[in-house]
Amino acid sequence: MIHTVNEYEFRNKFANSDAYKDNFTYDALTALFEYLEEYEEESGTQTEFDMVALCCEWSEYENLEELQQDYQDIKTLEELQEKTEVIEFDGGLLVREY
């Protein structure tokens, strides 16, 4: 059973969660929603909304310098993009954990 959520509902599910409301900024949630929608359109596959999985799979960073605190081996954004998926948005980066 799949429940379709729109962008507003997607962001609100995070905002209303005591455990996960601080995982992503508003802009990051917008970028992640758009990324997931585009993935569905391109692949023809529906994704299931799983807030816990999204919080485990993706991390938000303000910039490359902040990311390098967690990944000292990464020197450039291009190097990061070769290793994993990166969503750039106004205000930061979303990085799929690897």
**In the chain, how many domains are there?**
1
Joined together, the tokens standing for residue 32 give: 């992640």
Q: What is the average pLDDT score of the chain? A: 95
Domain enclosing residue 30, as ranges: 7-96
**In-domain check, residue 1:** no
User: What does the alpha-carbon distance between residue 32 and residue 55 come to, in Å, rounded to a whole number?
Assistant: 11
Q: What is the pLDDT of residues 45-61, one digit of tens each?
A: 999 899 999 999 999 99
Give yes or no for residue 1 having a pLDDT over 90. no
**In-domain check, residue 2:** no
User: What does the alpha-carbon distance between residue 79 and residue 44 come to, in Å, rounded to a whole number?
Assistant: 29
**In-domain check, residue 92:** yes
Q: What is the pLDDT of residues 10-22, one digit of tens each?
A: 999 999 999 999 9
**In-domain check, residue 12:** yes
